[in-house]
Structure 1
Amino acid sequence: FIIQMSTAEFAIDEHNHEDDNQDFEVHMNLYDLVGNEPDEDWMSNIKLPEFWGEIITQNSLEAAQEFKRRDYVEIYHQDKDPRLIAAGEADKELINRTLNQSHIHYFQKRMRASGLRNVTGKVYYRTWWERKVVKFTETHNKVLELETDINGERITSEEQIAQRITVPEEVQKEHVIYDRWNFDVLDSRNVFTSPGYCYSLQDKKRVTLRFDTDIGEMEQQKDFMDYINLDKVEEALKGADARKTDTKTGDDQNEPEEYMFTSLKPIMILETYKKEWVKVGKKDKITPGFDGRGERIKGAILMEIVRSIAHVGDKEILVRYQRQKNRDPFGNPFRPITKGICYIHPTSDLGVGDGKASRGPQIAMNDVFGMAMDKLRIALTPIVKAGTTSASEFRNTWEFAPRAVWEAYDPKDIQEMIMDDNISGAL
């Protein structure tokens, strides 16, 4: 029933985002200078970089403003208490040190987010804590005291010195490779939210993320993510085609449809953050708090949860069902995802970007400029009009080349057509 409910919810949210995802692709095509191909090969196919130049200029101004120094965050102190001021300065240093770490790739992510926000109107961020630990065994020498003294006699008084021996002992240890915070920018075509205007993703009834992984990554993150049913996932992968999933990426057009010979077949995950009726067991383990009809059962409480469904071929497998572990400073659960918008829209919480208003003028400029280039090309291309007798007797086409000979009954039968090449109005 959980999978059925998840499928129904996702179908609704995916349908509600169809128009927005289509606009996303149209606006990104404007940025990438991609458009409809001309009807004929000889027609002009030039895309003027007007919109592209506006976005690049805006991004460069933001980069110059933010990255001219290493301190990306400043603190505004509203309290005169020296302890609070010191705490604020410590937070500032911690955030700036974190963003300057090389694994964050902050500059690239920040500029990517800026471009997405300005073009499409919104950008999503996802944050997480990552930890990698290597376990190993060390052998130490352990000293043991025997019940006999150095002469081999049984110890009966404190004056006797106990005999000692050294024995090897194996000790299990852990080496922390990294234990750190990280974040990334999401493709908004892989983010689906419930209907309704909300000012924060924390207030949405549900938020679903779509991403790809593989069984290797899932096994590595099993303990941290509390993955379940991985044996069922691995069984479903046997004999399954390694086909491309529905997850959207920036180079979808360049990806092959199938990966038949890869050892790590892609698995599409639908990860949902929402509040749901659950029953809490030992060690904070939760189970669904509703029956097969979706009705609340006795003893169930409403709790923020994380639910993940793995899609392997035509099979859907529940791989994660746990309470939200992330907490704010007040102990309240929060979803590790946030959204930024370019301009506030009065009826849509998805916001609006520069691509919306620039789409029409950009297409008009491309069309008018293309027609002007077509007219100029026709005007510069020699076009010959020939008399009926000369054309039918000798040839239908005439070659413009040095030393080319044209035969005709009367030279007046062959004349070049002069076309108007004035395109100043279009320019």
Structure 2
Amino acid sequence: MGAQRPLDIPSIREDFPALSVPANGRPLVYLDNATTTQRPRQILDTLVRFYTRFNANIQRSPHALGQAASELYQQAHAAAARFIGARSWREIVFLRNTTEAINAVAVSLLRGASGSLAIRAGDEIVITVMEHHSNLVPWQALCAEHGVHVKVAVIAADGSLDMDSLCALLGPRTRLVCCTHVSNVLGTVNAISRIAEIAHSAGALLLVDGAQSVPHMPVNVQKLGCDFLAFSGHKMLAPFGIGVLYGREELLQQMSPFLYGGGMIESVTLERCSWNELPWKFEAGTPNVAAGIALGGAIDRRSGERLVGAIDYLEAIGMEAVQAHEATILARLYSGLSSMRRVLLYGPQASGCRAAVISFSVDGGDPLVIAMLLDSRGFAVRAGGHCAYPLASALGVEGTVRVSPYIYNSEEETDRFLNAVDDIVSGDLV
């Protein structure tokens, strides 16, 4: 990644109304972006304009409004495909979130796939101990139901994935490897391209949880070599209720739907039915059309009116610039926190191995109390196990304080946050 021009933070912040709302009588410093991001005015405006100018169901009615909504929604799929380097918009399935996307793959492979894709009793799925529950619980539950074994790769002392552990788990019955791209606790950036090579050499597919990577860095699924990738819109400026499942087209063609109903069928009789073409066969029922358009963005071909999506907003900044800005903030956070007494940091120290997440604990301090003390000073952070309890156990903690910056966080905010943590720690408030 070459040198990047610094982001115009004051200009960016003007786009986010929520950042001007005080928190406990203090200016809000929002550092909980790994949980969800704030939304810019452009996205809020797209939602309003959709509901006031294009509101109709999709893929159903022949009237002009219905056709316009359908075209906009398909354009949003194409934008998501472009954003992650997919070959076709047909490889993009819009679902509710990362969790539903992973469940869709799990249900399809374990219940509905046939031939070489089917995962059967005695087969094995490999995950890692750093997975979010969304990439753990579905496999636990469904594998137990079908007699499939789940194996777990461990982490090294520095918070990186132990690649030797991963390799040792793969065998002739391994059908699928599931791995997060970026740990939502440690910030560890996993070497997905290398993991893809390892998985494929063992004859297994690779599913990647991209919830913490797609919003923060350039991601190209073809370069990564993954077979499936899931991410959520709400972690990258889009509304709640929209997520993306990428799957290689030839795989999606062979997979059965995980949900059934209207919109996902080609034909139906009382005896049988056939599935719609991609991606619609995985999008049963009425989707969140407005949120999908607010994620991808689209242009009405009749009026030329542009509905700006979160992807448009991020592409205008440039994902390399987003990544560079976050690296600057992370370096400042890591340096400041690591110099404080009683503060213990988790995850890789090297900046190139960490994305926009820092988790820490204070010796003798309750993470929830620390987060509440920070909240009283206007700083929004998360505390707890971060939906990754097995990882917390592996780290020997019940929870941590998690700081996760984004495009609108400034170095000045970072310094204020560090001063607040130092005051809490040095003042023995915890």
* TM superposition score category, shorter chain reference: under 0.3
Whichever structure has more helix as a proportion of its residues is 2
What is the TM-score when the length of structure 1 is the normalising length? 0.22
Q: Which has the higher contact order (CA 8 A, sep 6+)?
A: 2
What is the TM-score when the length of structure 2 is the normalising length? 0.22
Structure label with greater radius of gyration: 1
Whichever structure has more strand as a proportion of its residues is 1
